[in-house]
Amino acid sequence: MMLVCLTLLLVPHVKAQGSGVGLSIRVSPTTTAPGTTVGVIGYVTNMTTKKMRATVTFTSLSPCGIETQIGYNRVALNPGQTMMITATYPIAADACRGPYTISINANGATTSATLLVQ
């Protein structure tokens, strides 16, 4: 687990803003094989001057067109506060091979990262 956390710090991430929410997401590793587990880390930031509640969801879209709900968290954020949210995503042994889109969504804002399953 420590290796996953360290790797997450070294992997580039993608950011998005919208609806007063700033989002970023990382996956680690960025390339994996069927039957393994991937770490997903997201950051959600309250970009407003008021306290905010949000439901943060992680989803995956496989190259075969299968959407999977990875997980969700309900959070309350003070103005300017950033919260880290993590999840693990087990890749099925019979998973499609190719690029997966791993997304984070909160209050209408969304961004994604790519996971390659080889």
Across 91-114, average pLDDT: 97
Q: What pLDDT, in 10s, does the model give residues 36-86?
A: 999 999 999 999 999 999 999 999 999 999 999 999 999 999 999 999 999
Phi, psi of 10 (to 5 degrees): -95, -10
Q: How far apart are CA 114 and CA 103, in angstroms?
A: 9
Q: Using alpha carbons, select from 75, 64, 66, 99 the residue that is nearest to residue 22.
A: 75
Pick 9 or 36 by higher pLDDT: 36
Domain span at residue 97? 2-117
> Is the confidence at residue 11, as pLDDT, over 90?
no
Quote the pLDDT of residue 32.
97
> Is the confidence at residue 4, as pLDDT, over 90?
no
Across 24-30, average pLDDT: 97
Q: How confident is the model at residue 105 (pLDDT cuts 50, 70, 90)?
A: very high
Q: How far apart are CA 57 and CA 59, in angstroms?
A: 7
Q: How far apart are CA 84 and CA 89, in angstroms?
A: 16
Provide the residue count of the chain: 118
Q: Is the pTM of this model over 0.85?
A: no
CATH number at residue 91: 2.60.40.3880
Q: Using alpha carbons, select from 16, 96, 112, 35 the residue that is nearest to residue 62.
A: 96
Total domain count for the chain? 1
